Chains A and B, each alone.
Chain A
Amino acid sequence: MQNKLKTTLLILLAVLVLVIILSCCIGAVSISFANLSSMVAYQTGLSKIINFTLQQQAVLLALRLPRVFLGVLIGAGLGISGAAMQGLFRNPLAEPGLIGIQSGAALFAVMMIVLEVKLFAQLTGLLGYYALAIAAFAGACLSTFLVYRLAIQNGKTVITTLLLAGIAINALAGSFTGLLTYMATDAQLRSITFWSLGSLGGASWQTLGCLFPFIAIPVFVLPFFAKALNAIALGEAQASHLGINVGFTKKIIIVLATMAVGASVAVAGIIGFIGLIIPHILRMACGADNKIIMPASAILGAAVLTLADLVSRTIVAPTELPIGIITALIGTPVFIYIINSQRKKNYQ
């Protein structure tokens, strides 16, 4: 079992490194692998030979690397949150959006874009470029908190009520977002569309620095709940008979998933499907044990999102396609294939 864990993670890490190298090399300014290795050697002081142009160096350091790492961070956050949510909801079709994280973030972001009222203008003056991200994160936290409060009965969170409350809040947030979209001007509509389809275009070292703790903490803490989530697959009562503190597990997982997904949405807009599909694919390949699924979802999520971003910025160069389109476009056929093969397997 321990060997299986190590091999799986090593293979996935190798894939991730490969994708990172590819993403660094391919783009409007082409950087060959030789150029890249020379730059790495030069920057780390291993070699004094310069086998690259200054333009290549500038593009890599200022544009491409931050963007690649943003993809890695967000992909990891979405992947592991999806795995944790599916475990918590005891449903392989659950995803972070179920508890209102994304719809709340979308509502607040659209509010910022459309209602250019005084308060928001002041907020923008105060926080500058980050105002939209902070508003989106606040929206994510608020809607999740609301869903969570609604689901508490006699001091306990009931998972089915959590699901229903999530649907209700999602619908409410969606209708307000729709109302605001209806009121929006053409220019505003364009930025709303772009935001709601997701993009890693806003990547800079500064955004990376801000985002890092919001992703790093969930990615390193969530795997410690693998045992608890495995036991919850038996049922909540059964898990508590095994000594698992189910209430505490629920709270922590919801907080950590909101942290990772809320911050991701704030920085890059809504990127669907990663949280749903990645854990699913991994479960088909290496079983349901969350000790493997959780860290593996983070790594594979990072690799897939980075790859999707590579496609999104090269396929219609010099402009770029929103990444949400790419993930759904690739994700849906894969998902249908999975459902189909699962059905065949069940018949056998």
Chain B
Amino acid sequence: MINVKNISYQIGKKHLLQNISFSVKSGQMLAIIGANGAGKSTLLKILCQDLSPTTGQVFINNKASNDYSQSELAKLRAVLAQHNTLSMQFTVKELVTMGRYPHFKHRPQPNDVAIINQAMQETGVLEFACRNYNTLSGGEQQRVQLARVLAQIYDSPNAFLLLDEPTNGLDLLYQQQILNTARKMANKGFGVVCILHDINLASAYADKILILKNGRNIAFGSPSEVVNCENIHQAFNINVQLMPYEGFNCPLVVPSFLNV
């Protein structure tokens, strides 16, 4: 379980995050939504220890996150960053193998090799395992990176997956594939935290949604609790309409174009 207690983060006098508290249980998927500059990425950076909060603390499995060593953390959480550029020409397989780096010293063990193949299969990148990563399309590259982070925590119970806008710039099919894979990981018992822009995708896939606005938490709860016209208007400053959608317990959010 990730427990975030009263996190604030400021640079100079600018408050990027103020008093954020929430928790993600193992087996749950949390989506963080909010307008640009709301503090979503900063929050994720604090969750993965790239930044340390000005005040407050993050607890991972009931232990303060800064009490873990870097290598312990590497076996406990995997992070898919928003921008992934590769400076050298690695093959897909070499790149996914890097996900197992925390687990082997010099060469991958049979268990690592099996996991690498499994992760590539689940993300559908096995067929181009020997291709040069830089020659793949954006959607393919993103799935390869996802395979890498899956491989990193594949056999670690109670581990967490942190995804920063994993569907950015991808077409509808790839968006679904990536989120399906994330959802499957949650169903297997991993905790998943995912920054998303699309409110409908968030309510379709996540168990909980956290809505941020100017670094503050304006709503936290299940999709049907937090997705309503007031919250969305407050967060994104647009008027929306809710439309019920058959077989789906949370209504769809559609922008109202009438008031243009």
Of the candidates B75, B77, B81, B94, the one whose C-beta lies within 8 Å of that of A235 is B81
Interface positions, chain B 134-154, Cβ under 8 Å from A, are 152
List, in ascending order, chain B residues with CB within 8 A of A231's CB: 98, 101
Q: Mark B76-104, 1 if CB is under 8 A from A, else 0.
A: 01110101111111110011001101100
Contact indicator B91/A240 (Cβ below 8 Å) = no
A-B contact pairs, 26 of them (CB 8 A): A2-B107, A90-B87, A90-B88, A92-B87, A230-B90, A230-B98, A231-B98, A233-B86, A234-B86, A235-B84, A235-B85, A237-B50, A238-B79, A240-B70, A241-B74, A242-B101, A242-B152, A243-B102, A244-B70, A244-B101, A245-B70, A283-B89, A287-B89, A287-B91, A288-B90, A288-B94
Chain B hits for A48, CB < 8 A: none
* CB atoms of B71 and A243 under 8 A apart: yes
A240: chain B residues at CB < 8 Å are 50, 70
- Which of A2, A91, A242, A245 is close to B99, meaning CB atoms less than 8 Å apart? A242
A1–B113 Cα gap in the complex (Å)?
A: 12
The CA-CA distance from A244 to B73 in the complex, in Å, is 11
- Most chain-B CB neighbours within 10 Å: which of A244, A283, A288, A289? A288
The docked-state distance in angstroms from the alpha carbon of A233 to that of B145 is 13
Q: How many residues of B contact A (CB 8 A)?
A: 29
Residues A273-327 near B (CB distance < 8 A): 283, 287-289
**9 smallest A-B Cβ distances: which pairs?**
A243-B74, A90-B87, A288-B88, A243-B71, A243-B102, A241-B79, A233-B88, A233-B87, A242-B101
**Which residue of B has the minimal Cβ distance to A293?**
B88
Chain A min CB distance to B197 (Å): 21
Nearest-neighbor residue (CB-CB) of B88 within chain A: A288
CA distance A53 to B83 in the complex (A): 67
Residue of A with least CB distance to B107: A2
B182 part of interface (Cβ distance < 8 Å)? no
Closest to B48 in A: A241
| Closest residue of A by beta carbon distance from B103 | A243
Residues on B with C-beta less than 8 A from A283 are: 88-89
Contacts of A242 in B (CB 8 A): 74, 98-99, 101-102, 152
Instruction: Provide the bound-state CA to CA distance between A245 and B78, in Å.
Output: 16
The interface residues of chain A, by DSSP majority, are classed as loop
Verify B101–A227 contact, CB threshold 8 A: yes
Binding site for A on B (CB under 8 A): 48, 50, 70-71, 73-75, 77-79, 81, 83-91, 94-95, 98-99, 101-102, 106-107, 152
A241-B152 Cα distance, complex, nearest whole Å:
10
Question: Are A91 and B78 in contact (CB-based, < 8 A)?
Answer: no
Which residues of A line the B interface, CB within 8 A?
Answer: 1-2, 87, 90-92, 227, 230-231, 233-235, 237-238, 240-245, 283, 287-289
Q: Are A238 and B102 in contact (CB under 8 A)?
A: no
Bound Cα distance from A320 to B73, whole angstroms: 58
Contact A233 B74 (CB under 8 A): no
Cα A243 to Cα B99 in complex, Å, equals 10
Chain B residues in 8 Å Cβ range of A289: 90, 94
On chain B, the residues within 8 Å of A235 by CB distance are 81, 83-85
Chain B hits for A244, CB < 8 A: 70, 101
Residue of B nearest to A230 (CB): B98
Known contacts A91-B87, A287-B89; 12 further A-B pairs (Cβ under 8 A): A2-B107, A92-B87, A235-B83, A237-B79, A237-B81, A240-B50, A241-B48, A242-B152, A243-B70, A243-B71, A245-B70, A288-B88
Q: How far apart are the CA atoms of A1 and B83 in the complex, in Å?
A: 28
- The answer on a CB contact under 8 Å between B89 and A243 is no
Minimum Cβ distance to chain A for residue B43 (Å): 15
Task: Please measure, in the bound complex, the distance between the C-alpha atom of A242 and the C-alpha atom of B98, giving whole angstroms.
Answer: 8
**Which of A240, A245, A283 has the most B CB atoms < 10 Å from its CB?**
A240
Complex-state Cα separation, A244 to B99, whole angstroms: 12
> Chain A residues with Cβ under 8 A from B86's Cβ?
233-234
Residue in A closest to B93 when the chains form the complex, CB atoms: A1
User: Min CB distance, B65 to chain A, in Å?
Assistant: 13
Which A residues are CB-close (under 8 A) to B107? 1-2
**Complex contacts, B81 vs chain A, CB 8 Å:** 235, 237-238, 241
Contacts of B90 on A, CB cut-off 8 Å? 230, 233, 287-289
For B101, list chain A residues within 8 Å (CB). 227, 230-231, 242-244
What are the residues of chain B within 8 A of A90 when measuring CB–CB? 87-88
Q: How far is A289 from B92 in the complex, measured between Cα atoms in Å?
A: 12
Query: A245 — which chain B residues lie within 8 A by C-beta?
Result: 70
| Interchain CA distance A234-B101 in the complex, whole Å | 13
Contact B75 A243, beta carbon cutoff 8 Å = yes
With the chains together, A104 CA to B94 CA distance in Å?
38
Interface centre among B50, B74, B87, B89 (most CB of A within 10 A): B87
- Say whether B75 contacts A238, CB under 8 Å: no
Q: Collect the chain A residues with CB atoms within 8 Å of residue B106's CB.
A: 227
Cα–Cα distance between A288 and B95 once the two chains are bound (Å): 10
Contacts of B70 in A (CB 8 A): 240, 243-245
Closest to B70 in A: A243
- Find out whether the CB atom of A238 lies under 8 angstroms from the CB atom of B84: yes
- Chain B residues within an 8 Å CB radius of A2: 107
Contacts of B91 in A (CB 8 A): 287
Residues of B within 8 A of A92 (CB): 87-88
How many Å lie between the Cα of A235 and that of B89 in the bound state? 14
